[in-house]
Amino acid sequence: MIDFNTDIVLEAFGVVLRSWAKQDAEQVINSVTDPLIWKYTTEALSNKDEVCNYVARAVSDREAGKRYSFAICLKGSGTIIGSSSFGNISTKDRRIEIGWTWLAQEYHGKGLNNIVKYLMLKYGFEVLDAHRIEFKTDNANLQSCGALEKIGAKRDGILRSHTLMHDGRYRDTVYYSILDREWAEVSSGLVHLITERKRKY
């Protein structure tokens, strides 16, 4: 499955995914402290210290072989606009999760999440030889659920009162997945979604 000692760089459609470095925190402090980003997440970043700790944890989790986090960058400028990760990896089951994803508020609704999902799914199925790639989100996050369904992920089910959120409530967590036998169709659909959209970033 994934080699945490490899520097993975994924690139397509003007977006580059590369591993986080501790010095990246300074670049994203102003863009990630918008509370709207964290409405449906398990943690919320609201100041410089929290952002620095978040980035440092992304680096240390990779070094410990727990989670491989990518900084989402715009090609050319190198501007970091978000993050997404591979985690909860089961080599025996050929299963991996894509998650821990966020984008700076100004880049919402521009089709960038589809590009990120395409790059990570392609790597997961075609390089890591995954059998199943899964996603989980807040069942109340209709935008996230709709986006996963739009790219072709199948809704597996809901775990009630599953995860404690940063605001003290317990969320109902909904799982989605894509299987290797579904990837060809999902890939074609994603490329169509990406290329038909007029990008404005």
- Tell me the pLDDT tens digit for each residue of 94-106: 999 999 999 988 8
- CA 14: distance to chain centroid? 17
Cβ neighbour number for residue 17 with a 10 Å cutoff: 22
Q: Is residue 3 part of a domain?
A: no
Q: Is residue 5 part of a domain?
A: no
Q: Is residue 105 part of a domain?
A: yes
For residue range 85-129, list pLDDT tens digits in order: 999 999 999 999 999 999 988 898 899 999 999 999 999 999 999
Tally of CA atoms within 13 A in the half-sphere of 109 that contains its CB: 3
Q: Is residue 189 part of a domain?
A: yes
Q: Is residue 1 part of a domain?
A: no
* Domain span holding position 60: 10-196
Question: The domain spanning residue 139 has which CATH number?
Answer: 3.40.630.30
The C-alpha angle 6, 183, 101, rounded to 5 degrees, equals: 55
